[in-house]
Structure 1
């Protein structure tokens, strides 16, 4: 697959074992599922059938029991509140019809998976009606021109994937984050989620919250020292049980950012990762952990419209394992590496795979 076919922004990604699945967004073939093999570093298309979703951007993608769940998003100037599921055992899409009232249409929100539920927070979309499931504040955007009134919300909602029902999750008025969109949500443990940044009205924020997924209790974390500036359309990646990685985004001064930060949620500290970078940054991209500790892949995204990126950007925040360093050396200097026939079979197989990878 040519790299220019992967150029997209506003897409969704999930990691499944040693593969990354990428779907949706704005760009080439965004209605198709792309698969990145982390071991071979090659991209392929996944052939799917069934009720294939439209080319949604700004939707939420969650992995629950071998199913890829897509909710909400933006397509052809319309925000939606539909939900689709891709069964990864047979690669068949189906549209989910909930057995309860549903949230109002929205995009650019966040989600966490907790047991058999998906918990959604915030977003930007249509003004809710009395028939919509909601739990939070709606802040209208009177500056937007178009049909219907849209705005930001801080709804905290749960979708039960077994009963196919929606329910609101009441949360504290004093601790609840402001309504926002284009924020990022990740899990740092099986029962704790993290929220960082996003846009509220005309302001991009740099606040950090944790959410107990079992009790729906928020906690605002006051970070110490230098802080990342407020941003939306950034990425957030879990490095371990305490550290999360922030990259890029869009600030209040309408600048596309290219800075990188590590936030320690236990010590409540953060520090900037200094690296050699060009003048451009990325926004509305996604990020996933790589095969090794401290490795993060930045996928897609855009600069100043209509520039859309198609190259994967790698961050290595820790040294590669010694074995991998040796394999990389063999792959790049095959002719000078001598023989390895007396090595254990497992090592020989790893070397053959690395040589095949470099030949391709």
Structure 2
């Protein structure tokens, strides 16, 4: 394969130059590549039907590379959480096979520069062993919400101090907290954490009234949103297993599943106005259990993998969509990298001699 095999339950993060894809699950994968990997403990065969691997897609060269990493790569590879802070990708929890019985509460950090994994030694009131939860990093704290053990669903909020490495339970489950859920999504904005969708095996949550967690006083409230008058539903239909990306006030959700239907829609929410808008663009095929990431400037969204339709057919489809007009500098770089593939393969010194800025040259790998 030139890139990652078809999968679901993986996660992706995005820098200005690369997209990183970690983990995933595919019970229908026929392993024909195990002989290509020298380290038998780190092969696809050793973790089948999970993928204990990290891939990088370079936007300039348009090529996938399976990375050979060092350190303690996690082995819980499905429905984990992943978020990027600087040059570090934080991976929390997830499940192996059988689901739930091999779930994790550990936090691993992958450094993009050193290509090294590190398992963070944490103390305090750790969260349960969960998968299908979400994490967000604000200031010096990592916040974790929701998830499932495989038979019980969670509605707690835990916080990890990234300086002292101490966990604390900051919001228990009570009559003020939102419904327990997994495979929801969450974003943080202006010191508040917004929860989008998710559900349990027999229910899904809607997007008309969003649960919002205040990071100042650790309290829940509900925020009513405004529907898009141009579409009949007005609001995104309730769902789980969708994707969600955000940049400042802008949130985009796409795809997902409600227990009956699989969605191909893309919705935008302005958090300042609490206004939903259904984009005219669609995912080419209805998809759920996929992963999405947004470039740091918030202009491009990438969607990879997931399941198409209700027949559990996993895919390695890879899509990109421009969400806003990029800067003139970015448009020029996109034109150059698309139309001059031979120059992209040149030595860095040659590109610098041509007058290409050093930060753009460093995007090529």
What is the number of equivalent residue pairs in this alignment?
318
1:257 maps to 2:263: yes
CA contact (8 A) 1:13 1:22 kept: yes
Gaps of 5+ in 1: 127-149, 335-344
CA contact (8 A) 1:287 1:296 kept: yes
Q: Give 1:286 shift.
A: 1.4
Could you tell me which of 49, 63, 74 is aligned with 1:42?
63
Show the 5 A alignment for 1:188-337: 188-189=189-190, 191-200=191-200, 202-207=202-207, 208-225=210-227, 226-239=234-247, 241-252=248-259, 254-275=260-281, 278=284, 280-290=285-295, 293-303=298-308, 304-325=310-331
Partner of 2:35: none
Partner of 2:148: 124
Give runs of ≥4 in structure 1 deviating > 6 Å: 330-334
C-alpha distance in 2 between matches for 1:329 and 1:115 = 36
Partner of 1:111: 135
TM-score w.r.t. length of structure 2:
0.76
CA contact (8 A) 2:159 2:168 kept: yes
Q: Give 1:96 shift.
A: 3.6
Q: Give 1:95 shift.
A: 3.2
Residues 229-283 of structure 1: CA distance to partner in whole angstroms, max 9, x if unpaired? 00000011114x222111000014x2211111111222121111113664x3111
Partner of 2:104: 81
C-alpha distance in 2 between matches for 1:346 and 1:231 = 51
Q: Give 1:47 shift.
A: 1.7
Query: Aligned with 1:179: secondary structure?
Result: coil
Q: Give 1:59 shift.
A: 1.0
Partner of 1:177: 178
Q: Give 1:293 shift.
A: 4.4
State the structure with more CA Rg: 1
Structure with higher strand content: 1
Partner of 2:152: 151
- Of the structure 1 ranges 71-80 and 99-108, higher mean CA displacement relative to structure 2 is found in 99-108
What is the Cα-based RMSD across aligned positions, in Å? 3.1
Q: Give 1:67 shift.
A: 3.6
Q: Give 1:306 shift.
A: 3.6
CA contact (8 A) 2:9 2:25 kept: yes
Residues 121-144 of structure 1: CA distance to partner in whole angstroms, max 9, x if unpaired? 011116xxxxxxxxxxxxxxxxxx
TM-score w.r.t. length of structure 1:
0.77
Give the direction of change, closer, same or farther, for the CA distance of 1:175–1:52 in structure 2 (3 Å limit): same
Residues 312-351 of structure 1: CA distance to partner in whole angstroms, max 9, x if unpaired? 21122223444555565667777xxxxxxxxxx898537x
Show the 5 A alignment for 1:19-30: 19-27=18-26, 29=44, 30=51
The answer to which structure, 1 or 2, has the higher relative contact order (CA under 8 A, 6+ apart) is: 2
- Of the structure 1 ranges 280-289 and 62-71, higher mean CA displacement relative to structure 2 is found in 62-71
Residues 133-189 of structure 1: CA distance to partner in whole angstroms, max 9, x if unpaired? xxxxxxxxxxxxxxxxx2211011112333332211036945421111110012334
Partner of 2:348: none
CA contact (8 A) 1:188 1:238 kept: no
Query: Aligned with 1:125: secondary structure?
Result: coil
C-alpha distance in 2 between matches for 1:312 and 1:108 = 22
C-alpha distance in 2 between matches for 1:40 and 1:116 = 35
